Structure 1
């Protein structure tokens, strides 16, 4: 059985969490580098500056999206009597991958926000 790509049961959903994480990673570090070369924040402000605040907001939004998607796919997988084995497999694996991407964003984002930028 084939599903449209937007279906939660399409296999493309499996790597989507890592794709979202990798886009976040590139935006965070690319934006960080550009901001430090174009308009670095005042070093006297420490971690309380516009750059860390911006990165923090983007990190929180990305983590919220990944957590929401993980929960959504996990809830979909909890209906085994309504789904085929393939659908259960895709939804459980997608939920796990989204959770791994969430944890990766958490572990990369915490040190990023605790250090003064542009040193």
Structure 2
């Protein structure tokens, strides 16, 4: 199967879709972990649960930034509609990366299961 180039219109929806999948996975995972085995409140914010979710957040944000960078590189090589798709997709990937980072900050700094 041939991979989709960054000029394909599907990339206009992929960034925000990845953000929404990350959001649902992280916060539902946090809720399930708190219902099953909550960490002790005196442990603070540095728990195994927060470290795992923070690492997952970091990986997702980095992946979205790499996708944005790939779109930017591809946009320089094309003109017209293909360039438009690559540029807008790149901005949407970058917007999604900032969304992941912004929504992930409470995971790192706030004790879980409050």
TM value normalised by structure 2: 0.94
User: 1:112 maps to which residue?
Assistant: 107
Structure 2: how far apart are the matches of 1:5 and 1:93? 19
Q: Deviations over 1:33-85 (max 9, x none)?
A: 00000011121110010110011010000001000000110111112xxx241
Residue of structure 2 aligned with 1:58, choices 56, 59, 63: 56
Residue ranges of structure 1 left out of the alignment (5+ in a row) = none
Deviation at 1:7, TM superposition (A): 2.5
The answer to whether the aligner puts 1:13 opposite 2:15 as a matched pair is: no
3-state DSSP of counterpart to 2:18: helix
3-state DSSP of counterpart to 2:10: helix
Counterparts of residues 40-51 of structure 1 (less than 5 Å): 40-51=38-49
Residue of structure 2 aligned with 1:29, choices 27, 30, 33: 27
The answer to whether the aligner puts 1:87 opposite 2:82 as a matched pair is: yes
Q: Does the aligned pair in 1 maintain the 2:6–2:70 contact within 8 Å?
A: no
Residue of structure 2 aligned with 1:73, choices 51, 71, 74: 71
Q: Deviations over 1:83-105 (max 9, x none)?
A: 24111000000000000001111
CA RMSD of aligned residues (A): 1.3
